[in-house]
Homo-oligomer: A and B are copies of this chain.
C-alpha cells in the first residue's frame, strides 16, 4: 500500500480506483442523509426557495468535495461524525456556485446533470435566492457543528471562506473565466482560472478534513500539494470528457465548451498531450502523498478514480 505501488501499470490503478468507488458508495448515503437533515424541508416556508435548494442539491451530484473531506479526515483518524457537517457545507457552497454560474447572465446553461437548471425550473429570482441561502447555510452549518471545538470551527470557516471568495477563491475564478470567454488565453491563464474556480475549494475540502483530524502544519502542506494536483487533474479530465463523452454519460451536451470557444486543455494542447498531462499530474498528486506517514492508499485511489473517470 506504499506510494510506489500507485506509480505502476494500469491493473494496479484499476484496483485503486475501485477502492475509491467503494469508499464513495459507502459514504455517499451518509452525506445525502446529513444534507437532507441540514436543508429545510420542501414544505417549510419559503417553499419555493427550499424546493430550489433541494432541486440542485439532490440532482445526482458526484459529492466529490464532501467525499474528499471524509477521505482525508479519516486518514488522520477523525471520526466520521466530526466530518459530515463540514463535508455537507462544501457541497452546499459547490451547489450555490453551480446555481449562480448557470444563470443567463453568467454561463446561461439550461441543463445540468440531465435536468433543467435551477433558474429554468424555478425562475431566476428564486434561483439567485436559493444560491444565496445555500452559501449562508454552509457557514451556519460549520458554526453550529458542536462535534467540533470552537477553534476548529473557526479554522474550517476561514479555510472555506478564503477558498470560496476573492481574491484567490472560487468567485475570483468564475470572474476570470467569464472575462476570458471573449478572447484567446494561454495555458498559464487557463491553469490560474481553474486553480481559483475549482481548485481552491477542492484543496480547502482536503485541508479541512486534515484540520478536523488534527494534522500538523507539515502534514497540511502535503495534503494541500496533493489536493492542488487532484483539483487540476479533475479539471483536465473534465475537459477531456467534454470532448470524448456522450450526452448520456455527462447529462449535459458534450462539446459545448469547445463550441463556445471556451479555452480547454484539449483545445490548447490537443487530445494526446492532454491525456499525457493528466497522467503526469496524477503521478504528482501521488508523489505529494509520499511525505505523509499515515496510510494514504485511499487518497491515491481517489486520484486514480479521477484520472479514469467516465462522467
Contact = CB atoms under 8 A, between A and B. Distances in A.
Nearest to A151: B150
Interface stretch (A10-18, A173-181, A224-232, A265-273): A173-181
Category for how many chain A residues contact B: 35 or more
Given A125-B106, A137-B165, A132 B49 contact: no
A226 B241 CA distance: 57
Nearest to A49: B175
A140 B169 CA distance: 12
Contact of A157 (B50, B106, B123, B143): B143
Contacts of A139: 139, 157, 161
B128 A100 contact: yes
Most chain B CB within 10 A, of A96, A105, A131, A174, is at: A105
A140 B57 CA distance: 24
A49 B45 CA distance: 32
Interface in A162-202: 162, 164-167, 169, 171-172, 174-176, 178-179
Interface of A (DSSP majority class):
helix
Interface in A109-149: 123-126, 128-129, 131-133, 135-137, 139-140, 143-144
A254 interface: no
A3 B199 CA distance: 56
A48 B106 contact: no
A132 B133 contact: no
A124 B105 contact: yes
B132 A178 contact: no
Contacts of A131: 132
Contact of A125 (B123, B144, B157, B178): B178
Given A158-B143, A162-B140, A49 B171 contact: yes
Contacts of A165: 132-133, 136-137, 140
Contacts of A150: 150-151, 153-154
Contacts of A103: 124-125, 128
A46 B153 contact: no
Given A40-B166, A103-B128, A133-B165, 13 more contacts: A45-B176, A46-B172, A46-B179, A50-B166, A96-B132, A105-B123, A129-B171, A129-B174, A136-B171, A139-B161, A140-B165, A143-B157, A143-B158
22 contacts: A40-B167, A45-B167, A45-B176, A46-B167, A46-B172, A49-B166, A49-B172, A105-B123, A106-B125, A125-B178, A129-B171, A129-B174, A132-B171, A133-B165, A133-B166, A135-B135, A136-B161, A136-B165, A136-B169, A136-B171, A137-B166, A150-B153
Interface of A: 40, 44-46, 48-50, 96, 100, 103, 105-106, 123-126, 128-129, 131-133, 135-137, 139-140, 143-144, 150-151, 153-154, 157-158, 161-162, 164-167, 169, 171-172, 174-176, 178-179
